[in-house]
Amino acid sequence: MDSFEIDDDRLTVAFRSPARRVEAVLTRADGHAEITLESHGLAGRLAELHRGTDAGAGWRLIIDISAFLLLITALTGVALWCLVPKWRPLGLAAVAVSVLVCAGVYFVLVP
């Protein structure tokens, strides 16, 4: 539940989840309910799960753990590349190219 408001003449309840929002407005006098559903489809849901938007603390923890495991995997891969003398030049060149590409993408796409 995202919000719950009580007024003299109506109640408003809003629920949020990744790529969805449902809002119900209940009129107290006659019991009339108006429900609004907003959905962004599968692509929107996947994008918001990727960002951790409205997904809860458990999902954000899973995202953080996954990022940490990917970082450890990448660092051990670079370390192994650098420890083997035969592959060291290729590994250092790959790291340099990757850093340049990431910097270029950042400076081109981020305002």
Instruction: Give the pLDDT confidence score for residue 10 in this predicted structure.
Output: 92
Token pair of 95, please? 């790291």
Segments forming the whole domain that contains residue 3: 1-55
68 and 95 in a common domain: yes
Same domain (yes/no): 60, 46: no
58-105 residue pLDDT tens: 888 999 999 999 999 999 988 888 889 998 998 889 889 999 999 999
pLDDT (tens digit, 9 = 90+) per residue, 5-57? 998 899 999 998 888 899 999 998 898 999 999 988 898 888 888 888 888 88
- The reply to whether 66 and 89 lie within a common domain is yes
Per-residue confidence (pLDDT) for residue 31, from 0 to 100: 87
Residues 63 and 46 placed together within one structural domain of the fold: no
- Which structure tokens are listed for 11? 């109640």
What is the distance between the alpha carbons of residues 9 and 5, in angstroms, rounded to a whole number?
11
Is 0.85 topped by the overall pTM? no
Task: Specify the pLDDT at position 78.
Answer: 86
Do 78 and 38 fall into the same domain?
Answer: no
Domain count, the chain: 2
The answer to whether residues 44 and 73 belong to one domain is no
Same domain, 31 and 77: no
**E strands within 1-111?**
3-6, 10-17, 20-27, 33-39
Q: Are 35 and 83 within one domain?
A: no
